[in-house]
Amino acid sequence: MTGKPYDFNRKALSQLPHMAAEPLYGPWEQVVRGYKQFCAMAAAVRLRIFDHLVELRQPMDLADQLNADPKMITDLCDLLADMELLVRYQDGFLVSALSRTYLCSDSAWFQEEVIKNIFSGFGLWQQLDRICIEGPVKVDEADFFENNLIDSLASEILTGELQQTVAAVTRQPEFAAAQRMLDLGGGHGLYAMALAAQKQDLEAIVYDFNPVEKDFKRYKEKFKANGVRFVAGNLFADDLGNGFDLVLFSYNPGGKNERILEKIHQCLNPGGLFVTKHALYREAEAAKSTLLDIEWQLTAFRGVAKGRNVYAFEQDLSEEAYMERLQQDFEIIETIDAKEFATPPLAKFGDRLDSIIIISRKR
Ligand SMILES: C[S@@+](CC[C@H](N)C(=O)[O-])C[C@H]1O[C@@H](n2cnc3c(N)ncnc32)[C@H](O)[C@@H]1O
């Protein structure tokens, strides 16, 4: 388009635009519809509608129980049925198999925390213009993980990644002989809890920032976990202890850091297993996801300098350098691609992208 576009605004009253609006409105319509459906589903979770509809109920009866407007509840149930989250039956509604598994509060796979985390991401994205000018929202690293992220990650991995990762570890012959393990930056501690549940004599330590201990305790209680305890520390600054037969290191700021790799090597017994799960960047790789690169830059940790790409930090080794450094001290037993273990993507922080699990043995 050339010239002065709209010196003559009045002309626009009779003249069609230079382009049809469809390519603009088409994607908007999808987003707007999806967002509103997401809000409806989230409202139903907060109102515990799915819990109530484990048994067949009529919307009037449900509205009565919720002390809510019957017309709104009837329409909401209709919308949720169109979304296949409820099933219409006679004059009433019932949960679908999907919502029974993930949207009922008594399910171990309840996803309410993920919904909250998605909304908090929207809140950050709404500040993008301001952040472009004033810089990222500054958070303490410990607070960043504290603010629902630990719970969201726990709910996400319970949909499959936890079980797949644990199976990859327990099938190693070294696991049968392991006595002590360290879940480094373990947060919720679910990996340590799941591994300890497979081996009664395993002493599992979850190492994380001090404030994360209360989250760990909640999960320990929820899953009635035995053989697992918490050690508070900053893995960059503090000692990791020693005498471990297994170190699990999953999605952590130190995941590609040479100094942390050396610390892990030191804390392992000879022949000990090191299981790391991270997204590595090849030297020539520009980006894995521009969308998530932007999301990564919406916040800044006090203390650890982020790199430009999602999950990248300033001191990170490239994939090539990391693999070379790893193999100086460890023998690689197995690498596993994300498609073998990862939870489905959600276009948000936490997506696995092309992360890999590397299982290695201390030389
Ligand atoms: C993305 S979460 C991963 C949690 C868990 N390992 C998983 O894979 O689901 C990163 C965890 O590392 C912890 N963490 C980050 N930096 C740390 C540090 N310097 N010292 C100890 N823990 C740290 C965070 O508190 C958080 O629990």
Asked if residue 151 has its Cβ within 6 Å of ligand 1, the reply is: no
Ligand 1 atom with the shortest distance to the CA of 303:
19
Q: Stretch 159-167: mean pLDDT, rounded?
A: 98
Asked if residue 59 has its Cβ within 6 Å of ligand 1, the reply is: no
The residue whose CA has the least distance to atom 10 of ligand 1 is 252
**Distance of CA 146 from the midpoint of ligand 1 (Å):** 10
Asked if residue 147 has its Cβ within 6 Å of ligand 1, the reply is: no
- Identify the band that residue 4 occupies on the pLDDT scale cut at 50, 70 and 90: low
Tens digit of pLDDT for each residue in 42-53?
Answer: 999 999 999 999
Asked if residue 166 has its Cβ within 6 Å of ligand 1, the reply is: no
Asked if residue 296 has its Cβ within 6 Å of ligand 1, the reply is: no
Ligand 1 atom with the shortest distance to the CA of 235:
20
pLDDT value at residue 9? 82
pLDDT value at residue 262? 98
- Identify the band that residue 294 occupies on the pLDDT scale cut at 50, 70 and 90: very high
pLDDT value at residue 330? 98
Enumerate residues 6+ apart whose C-beta is below 8 A from 260: 235, 236, 254
Domain spans of the chain, in order of start:
22-110, 128-362
Cα 129 to chain centroid distance, Å, stands at 25
**Distance of CA 185 from the midpoint of ligand 1 (Å):** 4
pLDDT value at residue 66? 98
- Identify the band that residue 140 occupies on the pLDDT scale cut at 50, 70 and 90: confident
- Identify the band that residue 145 occupies on the pLDDT scale cut at 50, 70 and 90: low
Asked if residue 157 has its Cβ within 6 Å of ligand 1, the reply is: yes
Q: Which CATH architecture has domain 128-362?
A: 3-Layer(aba) Sandwich (3.40)
Asked if residue 189 has its Cβ within 6 Å of ligand 1, the reply is: no
Asked if residue 162 has its Cβ within 6 Å of ligand 1, the reply is: no
Kindly tell me if the per-residue pLDDT of 1 is higher than 60. no
pLDDT value at residue 11? 87
- Identify the band that residue 12 occupies on the pLDDT scale cut at 50, 70 and 90: confident
pLDDT value at residue 5? 57
User: Do 22-110 and 128-362 agree at the fold level?
Assistant: no
**Distance of CA 129 from the midpoint of ligand 1 (Å):** 29
- Identify the band that residue 142 occupies on the pLDDT scale cut at 50, 70 and 90: low
Kindly tell me if the per-residue pLDDT of 41 is higher than 90. yes
Report the C-alpha gap between 15 and 4 in whole angstroms.
15
Asked if residue 230 has its Cβ within 6 Å of ligand 1, the reply is: no
Tens digit of pLDDT for each residue in 183-231?
Answer: 999 999 999 999 999 999 999 999 999 999 999 999 999 999 999 999 9
- Identify the band that residue 302 occupies on the pLDDT scale cut at 50, 70 and 90: confident
Class of domain 22-110 (CATH, top level): mainly alpha
- Identify the band that residue 133 occupies on the pLDDT scale cut at 50, 70 and 90: very high
Q: Stretch 261-282: mean pLDDT, rounded?
A: 98
Ligand 1 atom with the shortest distance to the CA of 234:
20
Q: Which one of 141, 145, 182 would you pick to mutate in the ligand 1 pocket, going by the greatest count of ligand atoms within 8 A of its CB?
A: 145
pLDDT value at residue 144? 63
- Identify the band that residue 303 occupies on the pLDDT scale cut at 50, 70 and 90: confident
Neighbours of 71 (CB within 10 A): 11
Asked if residue 120 has its Cβ within 6 Å of ligand 1, the reply is: no
pLDDT value at residue 146? 58
**Distance of CA 1 from the midpoint of ligand 1 (Å):** 51
Q: What are phi and psi of 16, to 5 degrees?
A: -65, 150
**Distance of CA 228 from the midpoint of ligand 1 (Å):** 17
pLDDT value at residue 7? 59
Kindly tell me if the per-residue pLDDT of 284 is higher than 60. yes
The residue whose CA has the least distance to atom 3 of ligand 1 is 251
* Residues of the chain above pLDDT 90, percent: 92
* Residues of the chain above pLDDT 70, percent: 96
Q: Stretch 38-61: mean pLDDT, rounded?
A: 98
Q: Stretch 290-295: mean pLDDT, rounded?
A: 98
Tens digit of pLDDT for each residue in 240-259?
Answer: 999 999 999 999 999 999 99
Q: Stretch 342-357: mean pLDDT, rounded?
A: 97
